[in-house]
Amino acid sequence: MITWLQTLVLLIAAVLAVFGEAAFQGLRHWLGAQFDLLPAFVVYAGLRTNLVALASLAVSGGLCFDSLSANPCGVSILPLFLIGLVLHLNRELILREQAFAQFVLGGFASAAAPLLALLLLLTTGHRPLLGWGTMWQLAVMALAGAAVTPLIFGLMGWLDRLLGQHPTLESTFRPDREIHRGRS
């Protein structure tokens, strides 16, 4: 069961990741592509949380991402939510505990999110810059998203264990009973 605290931690981590992407651009200038960590968080949310947490992540993360990028406001929300919804509906069929499956799903989500956003932009009449460099940027984003997704699963799992509620183990021993040993 996902709690409000776990949802809040997920949202704060996603907003900090978006801020970190915008603030620290050293790798962007070196590789020529900006990493996007939100699809990796959406993979986590789609496989481990409920629909309310997933929708909250898509809306808050998408709005934060669009406010710090050249995207029109709100264009990233629908792609992030659709990716998370597909994963959420099929999470019983996915080996979500396996790092390789997390890697593959992170790569898929990191490639699908900008492609869906691009499709949405082209459908609404915008003219984004497209060229051969777009393929390079998409490949870098997919590989970076694939590499960071298992790390996000590990980080969020650690935070869940640290902040989450754990059931207490009850003993069958009752302290109000007196045990007599030997013959009575």
Q: For residue 125, is pLDDT > 90?
A: no
CB neighbourhood size of 85 (10 A)? 16
What is the per-residue pLDDT for 167? 67
Q: Check whether 174 has a pLDDT greater than 70.
A: no
Q: Give the C-alpha separation, 85 to 76, whole Å.
A: 14
Residue 114 confidence (pLDDT): 92
**Do the Cβ atoms of 109 and 83 come closer than 8 Å?**
yes
Residue type (1 letter), 23: A
Q: Regarding predicted confidence, which is higher, 11 or 134?
A: 11
Sign of the alpha-carbon torsion through 125, 112, 114, 72: positive
Question: Is residue 38 pLDDT above 90, yes or no?
Answer: yes
pLDDT band, residue 168 (cuts 50/70/90): low
Domain ranges of the chain: 37-162
- Tell me, what DSSP letter sits at residue 74? T
pLDDT digits (tens, 9 = 90+) for 74-96: 899 999 999 999 999 999 998 88
User: What percent of the chain stands above pLDDT 70?
Assistant: 90
pLDDT in the model for residue 153: 95
Could you tell me the pLDDT band of residue 1, with boundaries at 50, 70 and 90? low
pTM, two decimals, is 0.84
Question: What is the pLDDT, as a whole number, of residue 84?
Answer: 96
Q: What is the mean pLDDT of the chain?
A: 87
Range with the poorest average pLDDT among 18-27, 86-95, 162-171 = 162-171
Element (H, E) at 6: helix 4-23
Amino acid code (one letter) for 3: T
pLDDT digits (tens, 9 = 90+) for 128-165: 777 787 888 899 999 999 999 999 999 998 988 888 66
Helices (H), 24-175: 26-31, 38-48, 51-67, 77-89, 99-123, 132-163
